[in-house]
Structure 1
Amino acid sequence: MSELEPLIGEPLALDLVNTRPVDADLLATPEQLAHWLGLQAERLTEPLGQPARADLAAVREVRDHTAAVLDALLHDRRPPAAALRGLADAQSAAPAIRRLRWDGTALAATPQRSGTPGARLAATLADAAVDLLTDPAIARLKRCAADDCVMLFLPAHPRRQWCSPERCGNRARVARYYQRHKATTN
């Protein structure tokens, strides 16, 4: 497992994109994907089991397409057509069908996907990306203010600057403290 733990707590699609911190890929192996899926288990309706290399490739494609669209939005550019097409392809590879079932007192609709486990996972993640990208909150999307961080987040508070107070926020506070005390000792 990587020394760097995946950052979670943002919308699922951002958590996926944030598995690529600077100079690392936290989804480089099927085992790392299994670890990330475990961290996201409450948000995923269908367990994948032990991911295979093909599952990892499908998830990484969705991540790359989502990242390309988010980068375009951050720079006020039109999202790449290939990235939008890639997300749509991932969704259509395992379409969701709402199945009716009787829960004992009422009818309930439960989405079910067809396809391989990896295609179903990629489609679920592509759906999460579409949900994020079409949410009005996407206008608040920010990149972490730390010089060496590429993480993205949706701030709940407009003054939030860092992806995580424990990671980049703490490092920035320590650096400011060091600079202040260095200036007073010189």
Structure 2
Amino acid sequence: MEHGIIVGERATRFGEGAVETESETKPRPPLSGEPLALELVNTTFVHGGLRGSLVDALATPTELDLWLEEHAEAFPRGPVRRASGPATASHLAGFRRLREALRELSRACVAQEPYGERAVAAVNRAARLAASWPEIGDGTADAPADRTADGPVVRWAEPDPRLVLLGAVAVSGVELLTGPRRRDVRACAAPGCVLYFVRTHRRREWCTPACGNRVRVARHNRQRRP
């Protein structure tokens, strides 16, 4: 078990080498630290610069479990701890549908366009999976994963923990794209890059320093040409 995610017999390394092998050969998303909604959007990215190839970091259920593991600290603790057994194709399809909707809404946000009805409906539908409420526990039968020390027991309406996590990503999108931070959502200005980020300072134009360096080098080379 790492970061509290339990995945049955494969808990220690998500497949005892399956993901480990994939992660050695398949690039991981280059940007981290964004709101969960953008972290999901950014699981599709270009690797290799302007002439690089598009990579999908959520191509298999195993890769979904890896992504959930990497972001475990950002999710509600209870569902993370209760996620037993590997993710299914249905789980993967749900996260990919949400990713598509969040990418479209992020694009519209940056372009200052109205949000599309289909994308909004998809995000809102997923957000309902995160519905929860606090209860007073009996002090004996409540799983530690569902409560904090001396705090209430948290119950979720959705029994599938991974769907609760899907809902948490959708809630992140609702909060980001309807709150004050929506004004700072940006698409990376580097040619060929498809990543989104929340601008942390006024002059930030790139998702990562690598994209900024690539643009500056290209600009410098153009200026040196006779």
Give the TM interval when normalised to the shorter protein.
Answer: 0.7 to 0.9
Out of 170, 173, 185, the residue aligned to residue 213 of structure 2 is: 170
Give the C-alpha shift of residue 136 in structure 1. 0.2
Equivalent pair of 1:55/1:117 in contact (CA under 8 Å): no
TM-score (norm 2): 0.71
Equivalent pair of 1:12/1:125 in contact (CA under 8 Å): yes
Change (3 A) 1:42 1:93: closer
Unmatched 5+ residue regions in structure 1? Answer: none
Change (3 A) 1:178 1:104: closer
Out of 36, 39, 49, the residue aligned to residue 15 of structure 1 is: 39
Partners in 2 of 1:43 and 1:17 — Cα distance? 16
Q: After TM superposition, what 4+ stretches of structure 1 lie above 6 angstroms from structure 2? A: 102-105
Partners in 2 of 1:106 and 1:134 — Cα distance? 33
Aligned positions of 1:39-118 closer than 5 A: 39-45=70-76, 46-47=79-80, 48-49=83-84, 50-93=86-129, 95-101=131-137, 107-108=151-152, 110=154, 112-118=156-162
Does 1:35 pair with 2:63? no
Partner of 2:15: none
- Whichever residue aligns with residue 55 of structure 2, its letter is A
Partner of 2:26: 3
Give the C-alpha shift of residue 106 in structure 1. 5.5
Equivalent pair of 1:62/1:86 in contact (CA under 8 Å): yes
Give the C-alpha shift of residue 107 in structure 1. 4.5
Change (3 A) 1:85 1:104: closer
- Give the fraction of aligned pairs with identical amino acids, expressed as a percent: 32
Equivalent pair of 1:56/1:118 in contact (CA under 8 Å): no
Give the C-alpha shift of residue 118 in structure 1. 3.2
Change (3 A) 1:4 1:106: closer
Partners in 1 of 2:219 and 2:173 — Cα distance? 36
Give the C-alpha shift of residue 171 in structure 1. 2.0
**How well do the aligned residues superpose, as a CA RMSD in angstroms?**
2.4
Partner of 2:165: 121
Give the C-alpha shift of residue 32 in structure 1. 1.5
Change (3 A) 1:111 1:69: farther
Unmatched 5+ residue regions in structure 2? Answer: 1-21, 47-53, 140-146
Equivalent pair of 1:98/1:112 in contact (CA under 8 Å): no
Cα offsets for 1:5-26 (capped at 9, x unmatched): 1221111111111111142211
Give the C-alpha shift of residue 177 in structure 1. 4.3
TM-score (norm 1): 0.84
Partner of 1:98, secondary structure, is: strand
